[in-house]
């Protein structure tokens, strides 16, 4: 029998059409500057006061200039007030020129907003290896204080590249008798793989959170969400997730010792999970969101490794696109995950239909499985039956459109 785990009860309220500016004290906007032909391509998030900040960053050795500068500012001051983002050009692998332009962007933003340079974060996404045209950046900074350009939906569109959909979410919860809001926005569609990807994520909250606790929450949550998605196995050079907590709701400072810390953490994790799943769902050319849940692993690391191995398999992804119940591809991906698996214990389900018991295929209703696989969300459940550790990974199918999109990305 497959192991069942009890899902936690939600301690927060999901806001309909919630955004990164749903928390008090945050504004955002976006404009077209010419970095892209017609689409919005320069966006910003601003907090009315300096916010406690934490970040996680790509593991790619070729880290882009804006990422390096932002990491330096977050590490040095642990506060950020304004984030600016451009799409259309990654300002990556651009040498000294890239660093100079990233620093110049920070200086201009600080001057325009009347804040210290250390309170500015900068992010870029787009084509790698092309020098960043600076006139569009100058143009974008000019609009930072324009009241007609403060529109969070414009921000969400301005950070996109090959994405089809914008990605946003917000929740409310009560802490110390105060209504706390946590919001988020993200972009990402291709070059997505566990341990960060060509994605940018921005989490905001009006809660007061200690810097060390915010950093710990972001790192642990990223390991369960953003680091558990894949589209194509490629990791990019620019990717980061930034979390800002401006404390405008006046709650007692949140730390791991606060009696309601777990309540805050549940809302924070939900926001990150929704954004991560939205990225996987919006994979280039994708038609389906694929969820792989692993139960019964010996360690959480083993559960994550198995889930990632299956969700990253191109053969599994193409089978999902073809609505083919080829469980052999799933079990093969489990086997090469480099974990100590006991094959005779493994059970696999596609949707609600068990297809493998004790490592051996069993007769199943092909029509029932087909009805599961043609849906736009498909769940694969793997029970290793070794212990009690679990993990979930998300990805998408691999389609002809993925090749079409990426064979002509520069042109």
pLDDT confidence bin for 274, thresholds 50/70/90: very high
Q: What's residue 397's pLDDT? A: 87
What value does the mean pLDDT take over residues 246-269? Answer: 97
Q: Tokens 């991906």 correspond to what residue?
A: 333
Q: Which residues pair with 14 in a beta bridge?
A: 171
* pLDDT tens sequence across 315-368: 999 999 999 999 999 999 999 999 999 999 999 999 999 999 999 999 999 999
Please tell me the predicted confidence (pLDDT) of residue 239: 83
Residue 399's pLDDT is 80
**Strands, DSSP E only, in 214-288?**
240-245
What pLDDT, on the 0 to 100 scale, is given for residue 195? 45
- Segment 209-218 shows an average pLDDT of 97
Q: With contact defined as beta carbons under 8 Å apart, do 187 and 175 qualify?
A: no
- For residue 85, what pLDDT band results from cuts at 50, 70 and 90? very high
pLDDT at 3: 42
Q: Would the pLDDT of 196 be above 80?
A: no
- Cα distance between residue 244 and residue 404, in whole Å: 37
Percent of the chain residues past pLDDT 90, beyond the cut: 80
197 — pLDDT class (breaks 50, 70, 90)? very low
Question: Could you give the domains of the chain?
Answer: 13-281 (3.60.70.12), 289-407 (3.10.20.340)
pLDDT tens-digit readout, 165-174: 899 999 999 9
Lowest mean pLDDT segment, chosen from 122-136, 232-246, 309-323: 232-246
Active site residue 198: yes
Dihedral sign for Cα atoms in the order 127, 128, 129, 131: positive
pLDDT mean across residues, the chain:
91
Contacts of 93 (CB under 8 A, 6+ apart): 62, 64, 128, 129, 237
DSSP secondary structure letter of residue 16: T
| Active-site choice (58, 162, 198, 221) | 198
> Using CB atoms within 10 A of its CB, is residue 310 exposed (0-12), middle (13-18) or buried (19+)?
buried
Q: How far apart are CA 355 and CA 1, in angstroms?
A: 12
């Amino acid at each position: 029998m497959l192991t069942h785990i009890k899902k936690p009860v939600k301690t927060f309220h999901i806001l309909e059409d919630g955004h990164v500016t749903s928390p008090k004290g945050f504004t955002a906007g976006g404009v077209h500057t010419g970095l892209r032909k017609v689409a919005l391509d320069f966006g910003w998030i601003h907090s009315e006061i300096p916010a406690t900040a934490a970040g996680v960053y790509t593991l790619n050795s070729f880290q882009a200039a804006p990422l390096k500068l932002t990491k330096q500012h977050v590490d040095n001051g642990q506060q950020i007030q304004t984030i600016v983002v451009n799409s259309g050009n990654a300002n990556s692998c651009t040498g000294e020129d890239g660093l100079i332009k990233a620093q110049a962007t920070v200086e201009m933003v600080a001057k325009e907003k009347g804040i210290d340079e250390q309170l500015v974060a900068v992010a870029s996404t787009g084509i790698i290896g092309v020098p960043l045209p600076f006139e569009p950046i100058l143009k974008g900074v000019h609009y930072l204080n324009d009241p007609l350009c403060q529109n969070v939906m414009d921000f969400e569109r301005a950070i996109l590249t090959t994405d089809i959909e914008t990605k946003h979410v917000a929740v409310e919860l009560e802490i110390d008798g105060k209504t706390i809001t946590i919001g988020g926005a993200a972009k990402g569609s291709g070059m997505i793989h566990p341990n960060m990807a060509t994605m940018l994520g921005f989490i905001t909250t009006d809660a007061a959170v200690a810097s060390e606790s915010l950093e710990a929450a972001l790192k642990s949550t990223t390991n369960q969400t953003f680091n558990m998605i894949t589209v194509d196995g490629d990791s990019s050079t620019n990717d980061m997730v930034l979390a800002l907590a401006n404390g405008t709701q006046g709650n007692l400072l949140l730390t791991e010792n606060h009696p309601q810390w777990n309540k805050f953490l549940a809302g924070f994790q939900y926001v990150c999970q929704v954004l991560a799943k939205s990225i996987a769902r919006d994979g280039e050319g994708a038609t389906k969101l694929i969820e792989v849940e692993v139960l019964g692993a010996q360690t959480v690391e083993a559960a994550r490794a198995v889930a990632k191995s299956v969700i990253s398999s191109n053969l599994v992804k193409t089978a999902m696109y073809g609505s083919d119940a080829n469980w052999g591809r799933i079990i093969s991906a489990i086997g090469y995950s480099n974990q100590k698996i006991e094959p005779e214990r493994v059970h696999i389900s596609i949707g609600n239909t068990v297809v493998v018991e004790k490592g051996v295929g069993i007769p199943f209703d092909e029509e029932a499985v087909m009805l599961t696989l043609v849906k736009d969300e498909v769940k694969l459940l793997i029970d290793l039956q070794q212990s009690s550790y679990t993990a979930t990974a998300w990805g998408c199918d691999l389609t002809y459109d993925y090749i079409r999109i990426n064979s002509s990305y520069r042109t």
